[in-house]
A and B are shown apart, each in its own frame.
Chain A
């Protein structure tokens, strides 16, 4: 009986690890590709260990295009992502507080509107939004990529509302009796308790924004303002043959920030996602 249990355990862990390895194989292959020769990559070699470890791909890749190095592209991406993520956290938590904790006329309407935006595919409003920014003369700037994030993101508002429904209302009531206004209930009670949901928002919004390709594609036309994702695509667009080694090297670097954020915060990821409100 005991050996059977151990056997099942071993099989379970082996399967989970083996399948997990297959899952991340493409990513590992890319990382190993960043140390490989172009000819080795194009042979379609399965091996994750390069014939010889080459660091030159990183040097050539970093040089970028027409005198703009990847330092610039990374700085641009960080700038946009950091501000947009900050905006999302602040605005979404404000709105979630309003929709889940305060009773006022019109709340139902705004809640429905929020759900509708959550399900509204971005591509439907892509063209008119572009035209609005174009008419405002801002189509070639970071504003369209940042400003909307200060207006709350429906997905995160919804997640935060789920989470807030788990914070006992008695806390609000006790604070009110102690003379707290509704504003200080938000800053002193809700916000600190919301931490797991905020962390989840930071992780997810950070990598959505960091990976975002369509937004920059629409709104950034000068190479100087390109984000990393646009810049990496330029390797593939080059008129001559693609430098796969350099492309993989920069791709690997581009994934690093996402990995680090995830490593630091990953234990919060499941805790921060509330599902209680989805029931019934």
Chain B
């Protein structure tokens, strides 16, 4: 089984390399204008040079930092407020529907409103990212806490647990699957918001790098930037998968599949 998987992976990798070779041929015979599609080697050179000489590295790190900081802020605020609202029937009654009303609003649509109010300085970009990425986790925490198995509250009652213990030992752990799924979604939102804000503000970062490369018709630099964003997307997703595997190992395989670990 594992051997078959290994062979499959190697074959799959070979196919990917074949695609890169095809890409090479396409650029070699100029089937697509090189302004739009740089040869793979040139992309690689742009990547290595950009990282080695600094500007691309600086832009990448700036984007990564914005995204992660914004996301962390969003995690703390989202889960914190969600826990507060989700465990208080009173708050839930008054605030629940209002918070739910924010769900259909795309995070990026908040940018123009927030720019108008707070501007686009460095600190403000962070708050834009945090505010935009906060909603999925806020709503997921509330949902998770609302759908705790009711019998567990009887168990808690029989053990005479106080409110704080019920939240920390029963409520939040049982909301973890929902929260993790939302954290994954929020990471993607944070990456997109960081990039859009960089495009709009011109602050150093991959968003600005991409826009600048496109304006200069420097497709190799553009592709290098896209590649790095892809790697960020891949890595953050992979990290979430590892986290879910570990934190949700108590789920039966069937449930785990439904939770979207696969």
The answer to whether A and B assemble together is no
A residues bordering B, Cβ < 8 Å?
A: none
